[in-house]
Amino acid sequence: MKMNKLIKAINKFIDKKIILPIAKLFNLISTKFKGNSRNFEKLITKKSGMIVISLIIALGLFWLAVNKSDSLIEKSAEVLYNQPITATYNEEAYVVRGLPKTVDITLVGRKSDIYLAKQLPTNDITVDLTGLSPGVHKVNLKYKKALSSVEYKLDPSVATIVIYEKATEEKDVSYEIINNDKLDSKYMVDSITLNKDKVYVKSDEATLKKVAYVKALIDLDKLTDDQRKNSGKVKIPVKLVAYDKNSNKINVEIAPSSVTATLNITSPSKEVPIKLIPTGSVVFGKAISSLTSDKTNVTVYGKASKLEKISYIPVYVNVDGLKENKQYSLTINKPKGVKSISDNSVNVSVALGDEITKEFSDIYIESKNLPDGYTVQAVDANSTKVNVSVSGVASVVNNIDPTTIQAYVDLKKVTEGEVSVKVKVKGSDLRATYTSMTQKVTLRITKK
Residues 22-50 pLDDT 10s = 556 655 655 655 555 555 555 555 556 55
Task: Report the range out of 16-30, 79-93, 282-296 with the highest average pLDDT.
Answer: 282-296
User: What is the distance of C-alpha 181 from the center of its chain?
Assistant: 9
Distance CA 137, CA 120 (A): 33
Residues 131-174 pLDDT 10s = 888 899 998 888 877 677 888 888 888 989 888 888 999 999 99
Closest CA to 123 of 107, 143, 109: 143
Residues 346-397 pLDDT 10s = 999 999 999 999 999 999 999 999 998 899 999 988 889 999 999 999 999 9
Mean pLDDT value of segment 303-330: 94
Q: Which residues of 102-135 are buried (b: 16+ CB within 10 A; e: fewer)?
A: ebebebebbbebbbbbeeeebeebebebeeeeee
Q: CA geometry: angle at 420 spanning 419 and 422, to 5°? A: 135
Q: What is the edge-to-edge ordering of all strands in the sheet holding 440-447?
A: 374-378, 440-447, 417-422
Q: Mean pLDDT for the chain?
A: 85
For position 42, what pLDDT does the model report? 58
Q: Please classify residue 260 by burial: count the beta carbons closer than 10 Å to its beta carbon, then call 0-12 exposed, 13-18 middle and 19+ buried.
A: middle
User: What amino acid occupies position 284?
Assistant: F
- In eight-state DSSP terms, residue 266 is E
Q: In this structure, are residues 357 and 432 in contact, taking their beta carbons and an 8 Å threshold? A: no
pLDDT: is 11 or 296 the higher one?
A: 296
Mean pLDDT value of segment 308-321: 95
For position 295, what pLDDT does the model report? 94
For the cut 90, the answer to whether the pLDDT of residue 437 exceeds it is yes
For the cut 70, the answer to whether the pLDDT of residue 177 exceeds it is yes
Residues 407-424 pLDDT 10s = 999 999 888 899 999 999
Does residue 38 sit in helix, strand or coil? Answer: helix
In the Cβ-directed half-sphere of 201, how many Cα atoms lie within 13 Å? Answer: 26
For position 28, what pLDDT does the model report? 61
Mean pLDDT value of segment 39-65: 59
For position 9, what pLDDT does the model report? 59
Mean pLDDT value of segment 264-287: 94
Beta pairing, strands 356-368 & 249-250 = unpaired
Longest alpha-carbon distance in the chain? 148
User: What amino acid occupies position 382?
Assistant: N
Q: CA geometry: angle at 265 spanning 262 and 266, to 5°? A: 145
Q: In this structure, are residues 379 and 355 in contact, taking their beta carbons and an 8 Å threshold? A: no
Does residue 280 sit in helix, strand or coil? Answer: coil
Closest CA to 55 of 14, 24, 25, 16: 25
For position 127, what pLDDT does the model report? 87
Distance CA 255, CA 202 (A): 8
For position 72, what pLDDT does the model report? 47
Residues 192-244 pLDDT 10s = 999 999 999 999 998 999 999 999 999 999 888 888 888 889 999 999 999 99
pTM of the prediction?
0.60
For the cut 80, the answer to whether the pLDDT of residue 92 exceeds it is yes
Confidence of residue 119 (pLDDT cuts 50, 70, 90): confident
Contacts 24+ apart (CB under 8 A), 40-47: none
Distance CA 217, CA 215 (A): 6
Q: How many Cβ atoms sit within 10 Å of the Cβ of residue 98?
A: 12
% of the chain exceeding 70 in pLDDT: 82
Distance CA 237, CA 234 (A): 10
For position 169, what pLDDT does the model report? 92
